[in-house]
Structure 1
Amino acid sequence: MNPAFQSLASACPYAWPVTGDWRVADTALLVIDMQRDFLDPDGYFAALGENASELREAVGPAAKVLALARRLGMRVIHTREGHRPDLADLNDTKRARALAMGAPIGGPGPLGRLLVRGEPGWDSIAEMAPVDDEIVIDKCGNGAFHATDLDQVLRANGIRNLWLVGVTTDVCVSSTMREANDRGYDVLLISDACCAATSALHAATLAGIEREGGVFGAHISSSALLEAVR
């Protein structure tokens, strides 16, 4: 089964996708960094001095979008940010910034070493954990295309369109959206299924997407998406 759907007229700033109808087989859901290190009060994000509870506002809507994608049979791909245990993939700039914020990457934390692969904090939260054959992309940067095989995976599976949910809107989600746009994918960010450290940062990211007729793609609320796609 490969059902086709009409373009989503309620997306902003254009009816998505811009080329018209879309199909389940050519569209994938990217779940960006829904990990304990970002969403747990004992994780890396909290160690930076941020309020992780703010990010949890995205969990409910994101879980609904994930359930929809699974029901439709869409390809679901999860990303996790984290570094090798030996930190060989951690550049000096990122290392110094985290250290200056009092959250040294690889340092000890309640959920194990901060932002390190294989530690409890690196795991996906239970509500958004991968199942069955869902693909997981492990990354060491903000954008999911940087130093990963994500583009190869998408093209090998015939994917042209992307839905994005996850955290944070202004950093890893936005970085991934821009990278995908530059590679020719039409990206739809599910606005309330993403969250930033502050509502102002979240709103500014959405406003930036709307510039120039949708310079990086489009966005839509989870309720509008679920209403349009049944």
Structure 2
Amino acid sequence: MMPTLPRRDEPFSPGQTALLLVDMQRIWLEPGLDPGHPDWGADHYFYRQTREVVIPNQQRLLAAARASGVEVLHTIIQSLTEDGRDRSLDHKLTPIHIPPSLAEGLPPAELAPVGDEIILPKTSSGIFNSTNVDYLLRNLGIRHLVVAGVLTDQCVDMTVRDGADRGYLVTCVADACAAPTQARHDIALKAFGGYCWVTDTATVEARFQALGRVGGA
């Protein structure tokens, strides 16, 4: 007989759950820093959405995860070399290059790693393609991968699909992600929704808090 398969929205498991923040870096989040969008002012949809919705929601997720013993990981777009010779061909062609010495390439203070939280530099849209995150997650015993970040229709999309293909139960926190437009965000969620459980910050926050209660029992 076939074994009973899990649901994508099955309860998170203590010691087997991780929160991954994707590309939450100053260069993308602070107006005037992104060389690809010099025309975007502080009132652009993306900056308003990340400032007013996404970052506050991620702060809630981080607080609940840290208080409940949920593993927290961060990924950022960053070359390993100052001249970017190690980056992917796609990043060379785009071009995207954030040297390791660039302070603006790090997360903003309110989302910065705490303690020994793992931060992984990548030079591709998909973290599974250009880092050892799969190896790390398996070493950590992770089954449930909770994803939030930017851009919904690019690096978040790749993370969700690749994570699902590698056997993780992936959750995407919709209101803790953003794309340059609301339409792009919504279309992306519909497109990759079959690979994950799409839910909201309040639901995941409550689940993290429940894990803390279980762990403290």
Q: 2:186 aligns with which of 200, 203, 215?
A: 203
Partner of 2:75 in structure 1?
A: 79
Q: 2:34 aligns with which of 22, 32, 44?
A: 44
Identity percentage over the alignment? 32
Aligned residue-pair number: 197
Q: Which runs of 5+ in 1 are unaligned?
A: 1-13, 99-104, 107-114
Q: 2:86 aligns with which of 81, 86, 89?
A: 89
- Matched position secondary structure for 1:22: coil
Query: What are the superposed Cα offsets for residues 133-173 of structure 1, whole Å, 9 maximum, x if unpaired?
Result: 10111111111111211011100011111001111111111
State the 1:125 CA deviation: 0.8
Q: Answer yes or no: is the 8 Å Cα contact 1:55–1:168 preserved in 2.
A: no
Q: How does 1:132-211 map to 2 (within 5 A)?
A: 132-210=115-193
CA distance in 2, matches of 1:203, 1:45: 25
Partner of 2:24 in structure 1?
A: 34
Partner of 1:222 in structure 2?
A: 201
Q: Which runs of 5+ in 2 are unaligned?
A: 1-5, 210-217
State yes or no: 1:126 paired with 2:109: yes
Q: Could you say if the C-alpha distance between residues 45 and 175 of structure 1 is closer, same or farther in structure 2, counting changes exceeding 3 Å?
A: farther
State the 1:58 CA deviation: 0.8
What's the TM-score once normalised by structure 2's chain length? 0.83
Q: Could you say if the C-alpha distance between residues 48 and 42 of structure 1 is closer, same or farther in structure 2, counting changes exceeding 3 Å?
A: closer
C-alpha RMSD over aligned residues: 2.1
- Matched position secondary structure for 1:23: coil
CA distance in 2, matches of 1:45, 1:200: 23
Q: Could you say if the C-alpha distance between residues 119 and 25 of structure 1 is closer, same or farther in structure 2, counting changes exceeding 3 Å?
A: same
- Matched position secondary structure for 2:141: coil
Query: What are the superposed Cα offsets for residues 159-193 of structure 1, whole Å, 9 maximum, x if unpaired?
Result: 11100111111111111111111100010001101
State yes or no: 1:116 paired with 2:99: yes
